[in-house]
Structure 1
Amino acid sequence: MISVPGVGEKPGPLPAEPPGKPMVAWYDPGVLAKTGLKTLLSGTIGRQADRRLLDAVARPQPLAFDYSEDDDGHAREELWLDYVSDLGDGWDSTYAVASAVTAPTLDVKDASGKVHHTVGGEVLVFGGDEVYPTASLQEYQARTVVPYADALNRRRRRPHLFAVPGNHDWYDGLVSFTRLFCQGRRTQGWRTKQQRSYFALKLPHGWWLLGTDMQLDSDLDASQVEFFQKVAREIPDTDRVILCNAEPAWIKQQVQPRAGRGFMDHNIDFLEQKVLGKKVSMFLAGDLHHYRRHEDAEGRQKIVAGGGGAFLHPTHLPKVDKRPGGYELKECYPSQAASRRLTWRNLAFTGLNPWFAAFMGVVYMLLGWGVAANLNEGPAAGVPPFREVLNAVLQSTGSMVLAAGVLLGCVAFADDRRGKRWRQVAGGLHGAAHLIIALLLIWGVASIASPLAGELRWSLRRDLFSGLLLFGGGALVGPLVVGAYLLVSLNVFACHPNEAFSSLSIPDWKNFLRLHFDADGRLTVYPIGIRRVPRRWRRSGLVRDPVWVPDPKDTRATPPALIEPPIVLGRSKAPPVKVGDGIGQDVPAPVVLEEHHLDRPV
């Protein structure tokens, strides 16, 4: 059972520091092994026993949760709704977003300095990947439940939460997700109502929000499609839909064009094009941990807002600015120039990923330890010739087997988005770089150890000395090779975007969306970003504050602000922005969506 902090427990001494966890170290060998095993098991279990099929029978759910009326049955004049995706990672990033989302009100400035007043959402939607690195009750508790409970505290009423599962939520077969979000549980941070992993919300003034479950294969099961077909029959042609998927297919189809569209994508295409069609005014997705907005000629929006707490993803990939469907890039956060600069941090790979550095040290040590020991047995007159070192390596069966493993591992690690041949070449060059540097390191260690052979009388002590040198050199240089490979791969060849930024574990550039359905039937989307999240916190002690507030000594932290001007979608045209409305300069006109022509073919 999910425990709720402070409920049913005797009060104890208050902690002096937040109880949260640091950002996930994705290059920690233990994390890699655990995540890989969970991915393998979840993929097997998910294909053999799809939990959605069981829930469709065992857990009935109303076609739509109605928020178009208030508790007294009167039509709502307005509604505020928050959308957060890709959360549950490090404390600083997840809690910073949670504090902004759960605030009763939030005043945010745009680039011109104009202040926009927003209200905390009565409804909260999690857009996917609610925890990292893999789903479990313990990880949900520490990385998701506690941050939102501490952030809300007693500042306002708990929002109604609806959650879309992502691939990380599926890594335990969706068991923990279902227990936390689909059984009517309440925490101090939210109240849940959904009974399945997908849902429909009826919102004021003819707006609807649909949340899908794409499982691990980007697939909608037949029961889910049938569910949304029934929902679509209840949606008049004049109403508009916000469709929330866990992944932005409109970007992934461009970044990985070789993957194509398989038969598993047919249900998604059928839902979007045939069932909903022109009713969809806005597509929302996470999975990519940044903000990116595309718009077509009719004003329809496709927005990625995956900045709820997970590490930052790059925005400077090519081939995503335009697509054949006519959607063009309007804004991204961080900017492409900033994203490209951040990639250079991979040159500090060794310091950023110490456990991976230790792993590389072991690999380099195993590659050359036996060779160095054999060279130590030779004459200690001087530095051994390079040819002698090379011959010793080629004659070492263990070193050659491990070298082959390094090559194959680098080929397997290489990105395949440019094709099989590119993967083989890039992976081969990456592996060859490691082997060449390892060979030079062996030569250098032999050059140091041989002159000292007479002084180090015991052969065991001499061999240990060589092994330590190989380990230290590999731990320093090996990760640097990996970092340089990722830097070149991303900034030159547009490959390894996930690997090049997961290595950095950047907690900043967070974002979420605040949606306002007003009395005139318009939807205003406020894309809110946090440029730099706080790194230091102190306990507040005030009932109307979150449990933890930023430490004033952390002067580099920045407050929430608008990423771009509010995006307005509505039946009637938004009032024009007059020159001089801003402070000191003109305010850019908001993006306006006119009434759709629903009779046009999709």
Structure 2
Amino acid sequence: MSESSRNSAAGAGWGAAEPGEYKRLLPPRVQKISWLDPRTLWAARNGVLASWFGDPTGRTRSRWVAQREAAGAPADKVIRREETDRFSFMVIGDTGEGDEPQYAVVPGFLKVSQDTDFAVVASDVIYPVGSADDYDGKFFRPYQDYRAPLYAIPGNHDWYEDLGAFMRVFCDDAPPLAPEPAPRPLTRAWLRSLLWHRPRPGDGQRLDQARELRSDAAQRSVQPGPYWAIDAGPIRIVGIDTGLLGTLDAEQGAWLREVSKDPRPKILITGSPLYVDGEHHPCPIDGGGSVDDVVRDPAHRYVAAIGGDIHNYQRYPVDVDGRTVQYIVSGGGGAFMHATHTIPRVDIGGVTERDFRCYPLRGDSLAFYGRLYGRRLRMRRFFTLTEEEGLAVVAERLGITPVRSPGGPVRVTRRMRLVASLLGAGGRPERTSRFRLPVRKIYTQLFSPSSVTYSPPFFKCFLRVDVTPEAIRLRCHAATGNRAQEIDPPIEDEITIPLI
């Protein structure tokens, strides 16, 4: 088994490593997304409009669900696979930018997933706005050699064109929804409709040709809608659609409560994580209550909740009235990397630094962003930190022991402390840094999306889940873009969840 980032810098992908062979998988023409391009930001405006003028996602989702039921989809939205006493599946989140970082995940994903029964894409299948014509290079081509079904739950980006392309791909070529009556003039809904982004005329003309890349009968999957449950052996997997703003409509909330009454242990897969960046986000349900209320109810027997949307890996083993629920973030499937070094010292839900896990390690994240800022601001000598320096200064700021032992002694200097503080590394702000670069809320929304790099290490990841009647074994595998990690994808985290 290859070393992971927790063992060595080489295991993290640093150094003069041999590049992987993922580039041979890329399509002839790759259109890279620039999240600072005004045209991209304007196309992806629907989330902002929904927060300003009201969110129509719940109503649109209900119409999609009604259409699928009229077409014969099961009313309970349960996918009933052949049940055996043991099975395996993959989870990969926030995949579809269609460039080098996404394709760098593919070789390791295919290697680890060889004997799995199906896979789930958890949030944001297609960037930037979920267009049908983007499915060729961002879904069908990268996963054409995965020989089992792929299910998905949509993320906010898939909703930027009212979920039309997602429904066509995953829900038996669902036809477009009929137009709704025009809203009354001068209302908030009317203002929203004037500015709302809609699909381009003729979008999806290449979709039938793209489908041929995953046309084998063993790869076929049909979902009852944007949210669903899968019954497969000893557990039930429940996938929920959190729409544009990370909430559930009342209709989906009622379904979630009902489907959760099944006596089997359950794993929730959601577009928005419930614990992330040292904070608790219970995910409200219209009409009252929250998704986490459902997860925490002992009668429902949830053992894990896996969410996408944030592009890294995090795990919080939370004690819920004497039983442990594993709250996981798994959004490192290909999109730009969200920083982990900005996560403060963890102390939430009874989870402390001793129990918390993340990938990339905070020190590696800080070194990655230090180099990135150094290039962007043309101040390489000031901002650049070695991976060992990143680990050391993060450990000092958080008051923890470095996860990975440095290769030699590292002296933390004033420059290193200043860089860490400017880049928002977790911990107590230094007196020398009253000014910080925008590395928390604004940084996550603005600078992180422009942080895509096209050379390793990429710090991407995916999950393999193995289920038996006795236990669930969950492993987070890394993808760096280097050849060594393609051949033997390192395990960055592993947990066994008992079922009996």
- Same fold per superposition (TM over 0.5): yes
State the partner residue of 2:163: 174
When you count helix as a share of all residues, which structure comes out higher? 1
Q: Distance in 1 between matches of 2:44 and 2:122?
A: 21
State the partner residue of 2:228: 199
Question: Which letter does structure 2 place at the counterpart of 1:161?
Answer: L
State the partner residue of 2:270: 245
1:561 to 482, 485, 489: 489
> C-alpha deviations, 1:243-264, integer Å up to 9, x for none?
11111132268289xx997967
Aligned residues of 1:255 and 1:319 also touching (Cα < 8 A)? no
Matched, 1:50 2:59: yes
Aligned residues of 1:137 and 1:176 also touching (Cα < 8 A)? yes
Matched, 1:533 2:484: no
Matched, 1:134 2:134: no
Q: Distance in 2 between matches of 1:120 and 1:20?
A: 32
Aligned residues of 2:274 and 2:305 also touching (Cα < 8 A)? no
> C-alpha deviations, 1:540-581, integer Å up to 9, x for none?
xxxxxxxxxxxxxxx68754523335321123xxxxxxxxxx
Q: Distance in 2 between matches of 1:183 and 1:327?
A: 45
1:25 to 21, 34, 38: 34
CA apart distance, 1:351: 8.0
Q: Distance in 1 between matches of 2:328 and 2:255?
A: 24
Say how many residue pairs are matched: 373
1:221 and 1:242, CA in 2 relative to 1: closer, same or farther beyond 3 A?
same
SS at match of 1:95: helix
State the partner residue of 1:67: 81
CA apart distance, 1:92: 2.1
State the partner residue of 2:318: 296
Unmatched segments (≥5 aa) in structure 1: 1-14, 70-75, 107-117, 153-157, 353-483, 535-554, 572-594, 596-602
1:231 and 1:327, CA in 2 relative to 1: closer, same or farther beyond 3 A?
farther
Matched, 1:287 2:287: no
TM-score by length of 1: 0.55
State the partner residue of 1:503: 450
> C-alpha deviations, 1:311-344, integer Å up to 9, x for none?
1111122346221354765321111111112221
Question: Which letter does structure 2 place at the counterpart of 1:504?
Answer: S
Q: Distance in 1 between matches of 2:312 and 2:26?
A: 28
TM alignment of 1:233-272, pairs within 5 A: 233=261, 235-236=262-263, 239-251=264-276, 254=279, 266-272=289-295
State the partner residue of 2:373: 346
CA apart distance, 1:135: 1.3
Q: Distance in 2 between matches of 1:16 and 1:218?
A: 33
1:255 and 1:299, CA in 2 relative to 1: closer, same or farther beyond 3 A?
closer
State the partner residue of 2:251: 223
Aligned residues of 1:166 and 1:246 also touching (Cα < 8 A)? yes
Q: Distance in 2 between matches of 1:332 and 1:296?
A: 15
State the partner residue of 1:395: none
Aligned residues of 1:204 and 1:521 also touching (Cα < 8 A)? no
2:91 to 83, 90, 114: 83
Q: Distance in 2 between matches of 1:163 and 1:347?
A: 37
> C-alpha deviations, 1:520-540, integer Å up to 9, x for none?
43211121111x216xxxxxx
SS at match of 1:98: helix
Question: Which letter does structure 2 place at the counterpart of 1:217?
Answer: L
Q: Distance in 2 between matches of 1:485 and 1:316?
A: 12
TM alignment of 1:113-192, pairs within 5 A: 119-149=114-144, 151-152=145-146, 158-183=147-172, 187-189=212-214, 190-192=219-221
Q: Distance in 2 between matches of 1:82 and 1:178?
A: 21
SS at match of 2:276: helix
Question: Which letter does structure 1 place at the counterpart of 2:369?
Answer: T
1:511 and 1:227, CA in 2 relative to 1: closer, same or farther beyond 3 A?
same
State the partner residue of 1:488: 422
Aligned residues of 1:84 and 1:127 also touching (Cα < 8 A)? yes
Q: Distance in 1 between matches of 2:378 and 2:100?
A: 20
Aligned residues of 2:58 and 2:248 also touching (Cα < 8 A)? no
Aligned residues of 1:43 and 1:216 also touching (Cα < 8 A)? no
Question: What is the RMSD computed on CA atoms of the aligned residues?
Answer: 3.5
Q: Which protein is bigger by CA-based radius of gyration?
A: 1
CA apart distance, 1:214: 0.9
Question: Which letter does structure 2 place at the counterpart of 1:323?
Answer: I
Kindly indicate whether structure 1 or structure 2 has the higher relative contact order, using CA contacts under 8 Å at least 6 residues apart: 2
1:557 and 1:523, CA in 2 relative to 1: closer, same or farther beyond 3 A?
closer
Q: Distance in 2 between matches of 1:48 and 1:566?
A: 36
Question: Which letter does structure 2 place at the counterpart of 1:176?
Answer: A
Matched, 1:98 2:106: yes
Aligned residues of 1:242 and 1:283 also touching (Cα < 8 A)? yes
Q: Distance in 1 between matches of 2:280 and 2:290?
A: 21
> C-alpha deviations, 1:471-498, integer Å up to 9, x for none?
xxxxxxxxxxxxx999825346552342
Question: Which letter does structure 1 place at the counterpart of 2:163?
Answer: L
Q: Distance in 1 between matches of 2:300 and 2:80?
A: 22
